[in-house]
Amino acid sequence: MSAVTQIDPHASAPPPITHPAPSRGSAWNYALEREGWTSLLVFADALASLLAVLIALAVTDTPLVTTPEYAALFALPVAVPAMLHVRGVYRRRVRIALRALSPMLGAISVAAMAVLTWDVVVYGGANVAPVIGWIWVLTILLLAGARCGLALARRQARIKGLAGKPTLIVGAGVVGKAIAQRLAAQPEYGLHPVGFLDENPPAQNGNGAPHRMLPVLGTPADLAEVAAAHSAEHVMIAFIAEPDQSLLALARRCEQLGLEVSLVPRLFESMNDRVALDWVGSLPVLGIRPLDPKGWQFRVKYALDRPLALLGVLALSPLMAVVAIAVKLSSPGPILFRQRRIGQDGQIFEMLKFRSMCTPDEAVEFVPPPGFAPGGIEGPDRRTPIGRFLRRSGLDELPQLINVVRGEMSLVGPRPERPEFAIAFGAQHARYTDRHRVKSGITGWAQVSGLRGQTSLVDRVDMDNYYIRNWSLSLDLKIALLTVPAVLRTGDAA
């Protein structure tokens, strides 16, 4: 078993479960979680393709009933879902990743090219190409819109407790507890934890049950009875003190009972989105392809940062001038707040913000609660009226674009920390200093995941290292798009 370093079992109390497990037989659950979800996706994709054909024919002023070459276009509502099935888009996943867009785009393109090739070869209909072009664009837009709508509907249903799968967690140790915390805190995953299965659950430090959030319902041998009693549909296998042969038998038992299975792999801290499944004879082999923070991919990222930040400064300069005047008039003190932070490779730099607080008469010392990161309101609330607005809107962070232009920061990355805290946290938490392998960012994966202000330090470390392991330009784009709603949702917690 690999050493677990990112999860601290004493970091904070696990969040309580605030809604009941959804009913397995409910209409919402059938449509959004079980067999009905795949049927709903296929229907939505076919309908989007059909609408794309009809709109394209209308835009190009082509009659609906015409020559066979145009009639062949109506094969697309069948061809598109078929190609999406071939590309594995309808497979059930715990979460929907951005990389799913690539196979969808490829499937739509192949279906459109197949219909075009059929028309050209069979009917010599080269004049149908412009209509196919319209259909291709419209299908992508309509299908993406329909899927986003369905995904949002399912997310809201899960959050409200209308949909979701009751989930058993095998292993009540540190990793099992972390899974339970994540699933309870993020019901949008659709996996509702109901309890643990463990032969030898770890004892709590003298204050009762092994876990305050979920009970240990039995041992892995009790799987069938416990699953039936709690209407479980999904099983998450964490680390337990059992030989691999026992886990294999457990997975097969889940298959016999019709239960979905997810498992936390050994060496999970080395995993990323680039893990490739291969085979050596009949043995599966996972190829781990780590991303080098000093490699060409990050050099491209940093090369894009400076011109984009400079454009941001130029575009936002009128707004920044107005904010600067408001800060100057609101209270005595400098316009910019400067604070020493640690960036890439441990280099110290001055991070810039618009000042949002009154300047204190003497230095204010702050020590965050154990297990929590600093941030937000530290000590007495000294925010000015304009400072409250700046923090709530995130406008106080705009001067950090200058840090990016200087090359001290990136647009997206782990948030930089003060040297004294970084040294302390590095001594307390394994792999905390891994964040210094890359440039710090104005916004990051931890921040858009709700970890702003005085929140769990271990969760921040976990999220920041996840970002570094799984970095891509698409992930940066996703974080940038999620930043504004994250700031508005959490207000002045940063």
Is residue 89's pLDDT more than 70?
yes
Is residue 3's pLDDT more than 70?
no
Q: Give the alpha-carbon dihedral of 467, 472, 476, 478, to 10 degrees.
A: -100
Neighbour tally for 410: CB within 10 Å? 26
Distance CA 86, CA 103 (A): 10
Write out pLDDT tens, residues 100-113: 667 788 888 888 88
> Among 165, 164, 163, 195, which Cα is nearest to 179's?
195
377: tokens are: 């309101």
Best-predicted range by mean pLDDT (106-115, 147-156, 170-179, 311-320): 311-320
Please state the rounded mean pLDDT for residues 373-388.
Answer: 82
What pLDDT score was predicted for residue 349? 95
Dihedral of alpha carbons 484, 488, 492, 494, sign:
negative
Mean pLDDT, all residues of the chain: 82
What pLDDT score was predicted for residue 12? 41
> Among 193, 175, 99, 94, which Cα is nearest to 462's?
175
Is residue 153's pLDDT more than 90?
no
What pLDDT score was predicted for residue 15? 42
> Among 411, 393, 396, 391, which Cα is nearest to 324's?
396
The architecture (CATH level 2) of 165-270 comes to 3-Layer(aba) Sandwich (3.40)
> Among 33, 21, 5, which Cα is nearest to 214's?
21
DSSP state of 120: I
Distance CA 372, CA 367 (A): 10
DSSP 400-436: HHHHHHHTS-EEESPPPB-HHHHHHHHHHSTTGGGGG
114 — pLDDT class (breaks 50, 70, 90): confident
What pLDDT score was predicted for residue 402? 96
Distance CA 350, CA 408 (A): 9
211: tokens are: 């876990």
Paired strand residues for 276 = 287
Please state the rounded mean pLDDT for residues 196-214.
Answer: 63
**Which residues does 477 contact at the CB level (< 8 Å), separation at least 6?**
98
Q: What number of residues does the chain have?
A: 494
344: tokens are: 């890439």
Write out pLDDT tens, residues 399-412: 999 999 999 999 99
DSSP state of 439: -
Write out pLDDT tens, residues 10-31: 344 444 444 455 555 567 777 7
Neighbour tally for 350: CB within 10 Å? 13
User: Which residue type occupies 351?
Assistant: M
Instruction: Judge contact between 412 and 442, C-beta under 8 A.
Output: yes
258: tokens are: 């019709």
Write out pLDDT tens, residues 279-318: 888 788 878 777 788 888 899 999 999 999 999 999 999 9
Write out pLDDT tens, residues 248-263: 888 889 988 989 888 8
Strand duo 216-218 + 234-237: pairing = unpaired
388: tokens are: 């409250």
Q: Is 75 exposed, middle or buried (0-12, 13-18, 19+ CB in 10 A)?
A: middle
Is residue 244's pLDDT more than 90?
no
What pLDDT score was predicted for residue 250? 87
Is residue 9's pLDDT more than 90?
no
Domain range summary for the chain, segments of one domain joined by +? 27-159, 165-270, 296-490
Please state the rounded mean pLDDT for residues 160-180.
Answer: 87
Is residue 336's pLDDT more than 90?
yes
